[in-house]
Structure 1
Amino acid sequence: MNIASPALAFPVNWSPYPFQVPLWKYLKGGGRTAVCVWHRRAGKDIMGINWITACALQEVGVYWYLFPTADQAKTSVFESITLDGRTYLDFIPKAVIKRILVSTMKIELTNGSVIQFHGASNPKALRGAGIKGCVFSEFSFMKVQAIESVVQPMLVRSKGWALYLYTPSDKPEDTHGEDLYHTALEDKDAFAQLKTIHDTTDHYGNPLVTEKDLIHLRSRGFTEDRIRREFFCDFNAVRFHRSKDAMFIEEMEKAESAGRFTHVHYNPSYTVHTAWDIGIADYTAIWFYQVIGSEVYVIDLVYNRNKNFEYYLDRLIQRPYVYERMIAPHDMIRRNHLTMDTRLYEMNLLCEKHKLPPFLLGRKYLREQMVGKTREFFSKCYIDLTRCIHGIDALYSEGAGKEKRKHPENDLVDAFMYMVMDVEEQRLLQDLEDKRSNYQRLHQPEKTISDYKVLNYQMRGYH
């Protein structure tokens, strides 16, 4: 985009890096939603300030540039200096600036447009303005409410554009950045791009960040998790607390590398099974899974403590799933000393009341057998990152010798292993049934004369 007049030229001594050109073309062509997950030092805000300025010059309106906090907005735009010694305001032609109000972080242009910088930490303060476009800097660190309840309705009404520029968050619970990226990938009208240091260069083909730079950062105390997050845009880098002595660490890291911890959608064409570890003083954990062909899709997880059994049944009822197998641990056969009923019987009465399938009692397995089968299982399943994040974290950190009451991950892992054993047992039974059917088909005896009506006669004349 080149906007020229006798008084100005734009952009001001800037052009997008080669990897940024597709984004610029998408926005210039009228694209309305762009999600860019770029590594640290990839020029995110320089791209943002140039694009928002281009739009403000081309069409009069109010344009917002949001940061997670107001202090970040002030520091990044009004106080920061780029590697070549320029402030971000130097990218805006001075001839088009009517005035700059530093106290309110507002830039008024001579054509009537306004570029307003805001912090997103107070969503209520953002209400009231009609905007035509918005840049979200470091979206993964923002409060999602600021976007969902305030900014997006304004953009819908004005048919405005939204440009999201960020690296993954350093907080495991902040998954909205990854969710947005995957949503954009599935939207044919949106632009989605994830770039690591291996994907970016300057105008001369030189890497923006080199392996030598990473060595220097490690010497200054940067952890591998931080490097993976900031320079390789790994959403999982700080999500899981990996224990070196965890039982499944090797198998899980292979599964993670193979993309098996991802967004897994519920398939309404198949039933959902649940595997439980039921606690009283300790935690109750429930894994939700679907078996489709040779793969298992783990779609959901519920866990809590100090809740009655109906609380967990309500969690099932609230979900849109159609249930089939409900696997309870083997110790549910223990009797209630007050009523002399088994806990399993009591639970099934409540299931009948809520029109849920009855529980099936899991077998008692050797723990070594369960651990071995679970290690094999990670190469056969997909686990949803959003709804099962705490379960994945538990599997990553579960080691030997932990006291169950102090570590809820033990209960999550036990329920997961019950799920694994049930899946394997059902597959074994199905294999046996298939073999039996094949044997009967291959060894069906040929019809003999006894299958037909035989003439009856008497032998006469012989005594």
Structure 2
Amino acid sequence: MKVRIEPRKQFRPYLLRDNRWSCIVAHRRAGKTVACIQDLIHKAGTHKGNAARLAYIAPFYAQAKDVAWAYLKQFTSGIPGTTSNEGELHITFAHNGARIRLYGADNYDRMRGIYLDGAVLDENGDMDPRAWSEVIRPALSDRKGWATFIGTPKGRNAFFDVWQHAQADSKWFDLMLKASETGLVDDEELADARAMMAAEQYAQEFECSFDAAILGAYYGSLVADAEREGRIAQVELDDALPIHTAWDLGIGDSTAIWVFQVGPEGMRLVDHIEDHGKTLSHYVSELEARGYKGGIDYVPHDAKVRSLDTGRSRLETLAKLGRNPFLLGPSAVDDGINGVRQLFPRMWFDADRCRDGIEALRQYRTEFDEKTKAFKTRPRHDWTSHTADALRYAAQGYREMAIHRVKTKATAKPGQVWIGPPDDTEATKRTRL
């Protein structure tokens, strides 16, 4: 079947590519979503063989519907025999059974077990990195499917990593479209936008700058400082120091854990673990398999709440599983964020084991309220939240150690904590809560 499309000339090189992997960095209103929907339609309509399965994936399901569904229906309405399913957001081609479906990465488990011949990931920097590595990439394997990553920069996040890889690998197709070069937005409109936007916003949204700060990010500049100062590097475990953990405990949601040691220079974050839909015993087993035991497990104050199912709190469950949980006191989110900010210059991260955690911290942010024209007072709840909350508890635990510290492991009594060489001259002792 012949499928005729009429793309903008700026996207013709992409539509004529024969690369398996592609990355497009484009300014706002360049038409990248339209071009990729056209490409999906062309590949679905011309596919030969078993029924093709193609996907457009946005960070959120509602976003996929708002951004792409109308385009998909519009561009397939003139193709004989195509049918649309409003409930499942998919278009099916009658002549070969090919299907294009919209998904949201906020529920990427929904894609587990499917196969894909091709996928477009729109704004993948806003997605949980596990959506690609654990679900989408494996779904492409048996059919040797292709993938295209598209977006506008939001700092040096996962999308930036993809862009860098695409530029360095000759097997990839890469395309960057800046508003000052494409001519897709006229000069008068660009001048007006420049006058009404912050310089960083304009550089990011229209000139595709990955170096512009993510507006509303709590830790973005601090992560950049840590990179520049060499505090994101290889951080090895020190056998002379206890290994502590800080947990954000999800119920039917993600659980995130930071593994850290405390040395004279500050906090050494040696690992980051996150998963969802798993029991506490799973995380305990994972920690022990990696050799992380013997220190303190810092948990939030609501861990003392008893489950109606078991009659036992998560604090009690962790203790029963052989861990050493410490119940942190209540703390306001804003206070916790400020505590992390103050401690951040003394944090060292292992670049490999903490990679996903670092990325979550970089993107953890509040949102801009278009109605009030101000940033909201609460953090945005998304895939970054659990990791950021766990780091708040780690910082709170670090401060608790200053209270519970004793000089040496040998002099520690029950209910006291030894964290290695003390950085104060007079050790303070207090019974643990």
Q: TM-score, normalised by structure 2?
A: 0.50
- Normalising to structure 1: TM-score of the pair? 0.47
